[in-house]
């Protein structure tokens, strides 16, 4: 008998991936089907397992991919196939998310479901704008209202008289297009025209915009600023707290659009750090890390591993691939007994230490030249050195080892190849200079970036965008490719690169 399907109605939260729940993430990792809305972040979708089927059912103003009835039927259809189905909805499924309708439909058709609440944009978005929806000096209550009510509707489900005569905070969701009508109704039923109002667009995200005014003038301000949905509307005295409590816009990289060209598998540390500092990290991986197709020389070196005196790692990629292959050859760290290990960079060292091994030498300067300095006098004539590395890496390190009359076996275990799955819209923004910074963390990211963007396109980039490089070798490569380098990290690490961005 086939497995019976199951439906999870999961709240994706207001937008910031950091506000997605741990339970939601765990369920996403095992789901067969992800049925998701328009405002769900791509970084949240990335939590799903790679074999999941993704179905977009987003709704924009007057443009629905599927009707609500069709979405309901889709949930039941996929559950009927025995699938674990995640219905991923912005905010919370039960706060104007029609989650109740979907759950009832699923149950009526014989399937079980579970609700995974999400952080509602009604609370989180004002908080990210520095507006507490309740504040002891202003109000102790808050009312959540749908903003979809239209002027001329025969029977309103909103008690405008109660809202107009009250003093509580009112949060309208999905109401920007009806803003003038909302303000008119509140004033008509007793709210002071000078009551503060805030519109918060793309709340909790780096693109967040806030427009403030009063009931009497906010509709005109919205028109003048061409302020578009999606946005949350906050009405009440609490809006006055924004000037004292705004925090997101005070972050040092707020408003900066920063391109990250690292491989997807490595980008998270830099992306997270930029985001923590308020920047908009735009992932545009110029390279993808791929193990070498022919690893025969690597396999042979591993069989003879106990003959080596030194093992040198110049990147985290080399460490990762080396130990994966070591395991595949039925070997482990015991086979590295007695071999001294050198590494470039603190992150590379940390990764090796996590494998249970001690790193003997890490240079002060995280480039091959620094490692040569640190190894001189340590590697003796006649020593055997294993150097697993990338295709196309500079020859300066093995050349130096040979000058010391030691034997070096340079085995190519991976290569950095151009990334093919990139968004054209991001590419056009970069070409036209619509970003503030482009970061490069290796020479290969520079070369492949230029291959993707086009060798003829650095002129506009140089005019509008600052180039930030992790170190002098990468910076030299960027200059050779016609890019004007504005920032070079003093310490050749991700933290060093971020520090350089902050000082620019």
Catalytic residues: 37, 59, 174
Half-sphere exposure for 427 (CA within 13 Å, toward CB): 15
> Strand 142-146 to strand 112-116: parallel, antiparallel, or no bridges (unpaired)?
unpaired
> What is the residue whose two structure tokens read 């328009």?
38
Count Cα neighbours of 49 within 13 Å in the Cβ-side half-sphere.
12
- Cα-based angle 263, 265, 270 (whole degrees, multiple of 5): 75
Chain position carrying tokens 């230490």:
353
CA–CA distance, 72 with 105 (Å, rounded to integer): 6
Output phi, psi for 41, to 5 deg: -65, 145
Q: Tell me the CA distances in angstroms from 294 to 206, 328, 412, one per residue in order.
A: 43, 15, 9
| 8 Å CB contact between 360 and 380 | no
What burial letters (b/e) apply to 313-352, b meaning 16+ CB within 10 Å?
bbbbbbbbbbbebbeeeeeeeeebeebbbbbbbebbbebb
Helix (H, G, I), strand (E, B) or coil at 407: strand
DSSP string, 364-399: SS-SHHHHHHHHTTTSPTT-EEEEEEETT--SHHHH
Specify the DSSP class assigned to residue 433. Answer: T
Residue 68 structure tokens: 């609500």
Nearest to 249 by CA among 150, 346, 130: 130
Q: 389-399 in b/e burial notation, b at 16+ Cβ within 10 A? A: bbeebeeebbe
Q: What is the 3-state secondary structure (H, E, C) of 21-55?
A: CHHHHHHHCCCCEEEECCCCCHHHHCCCCCCCEEE
């Amino acid at each position: 008998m086939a497995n019976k399907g199951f439906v999870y109605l999961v709240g994706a939260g207001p937008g910031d991936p950091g506000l997605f729940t741990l339970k939601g993430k765990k369920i996403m990792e095992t789901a067969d089907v992800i049925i998701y809305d328009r405002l769900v972040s791509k970084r949240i979708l990335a939590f799903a397992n790679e074999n999941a089927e993704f179905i977009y059912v987003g709704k924009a103003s007057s443009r629905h991919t599927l009707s609500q009835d069709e979405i309901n039927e889709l949930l039941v259809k996929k559950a009927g196939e025995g699938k674990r189905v995640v219905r991923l909805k912005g905010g919370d499924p039960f706060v104007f998310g029609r989650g109740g309708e979907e759950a009832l439909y699923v149950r009526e058709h014989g399937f079980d479901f579970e609700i995974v609440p999400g952080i509602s944009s009604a609370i989180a978005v004002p908080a990210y704008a520095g507006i507490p929806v309740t504040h002891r000096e202003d109000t102790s209550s808050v009312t959540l209202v749908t903003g979809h009510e239209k002027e001329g509707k025969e029977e309103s489900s909103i008690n405008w008289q109660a809202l107009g005569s009250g003093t509580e905070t009112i949060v309208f969701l999905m109401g920007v297009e009806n803003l003038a009508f909302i303000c008119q109704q509140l004033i008509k039923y007793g709210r002071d025209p000078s009551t503060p109002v805030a519109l918060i667009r793309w709340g909790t995200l780096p693109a967040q915009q806030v427009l403030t005014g009063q009931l009497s003038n906010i509709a005109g301000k919205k028109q003048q600023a061409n302020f578009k949905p999606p946005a949350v509307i906050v009405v009440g005295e609490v809006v006055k707290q924004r000037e004292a409590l705004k925090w997101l816009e005070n972050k040092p990289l707020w408003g900066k659009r920063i391109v990250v060209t690292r491989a997807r598998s490595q980008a998270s540390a830099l992306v997270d750090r930029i985001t923590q500092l308020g920047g908009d990290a735009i992932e545009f991986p110029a390279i993808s890390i791929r193990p070498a197709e022919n690893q025969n020389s690597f396999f042979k070196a591993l069989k003879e591993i106990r003959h080596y005196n030194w093992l040198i790692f110049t990147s985290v990629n080399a460490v990762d691939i080396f130990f994966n292959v070591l395991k595949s050859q039925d070997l482990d760290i015991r086979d590295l007994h007695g071999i001294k290990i050198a590494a470039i960079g603190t992150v590379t060292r940390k990764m090796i230490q996590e494998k249970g091994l001690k790193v003997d030498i890490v240079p002060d300067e995280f480039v091959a030249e620094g490692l040569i300095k640190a190894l001189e006098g340590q590697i003796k004539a006649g020593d055997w050195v294993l150097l697993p590395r990338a295709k196309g890496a500079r020859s300066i390190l093995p050349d130096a080892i040979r000058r010391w009359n030691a034997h070096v076996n340079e085995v190519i275990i991976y290569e950095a190849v151009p990334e093919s799955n990139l968004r054209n819209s991001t590419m056009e923004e970069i070409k036209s200079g619509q970003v503030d910074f482009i970061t490069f963390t290796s020479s290969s990211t520079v070369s492949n970036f230029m291959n993707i963007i086009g060798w003829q396109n650095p002129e506009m980039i140089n005019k509008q965008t600052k180039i930030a490089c992790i170190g002098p070798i990468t910076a030299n490569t960027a200059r050779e490719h016609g890019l004007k380098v504005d920032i070079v990290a003093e310490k050749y690490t991700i933290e060093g690169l971020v520090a350089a961005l902050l000082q620019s």
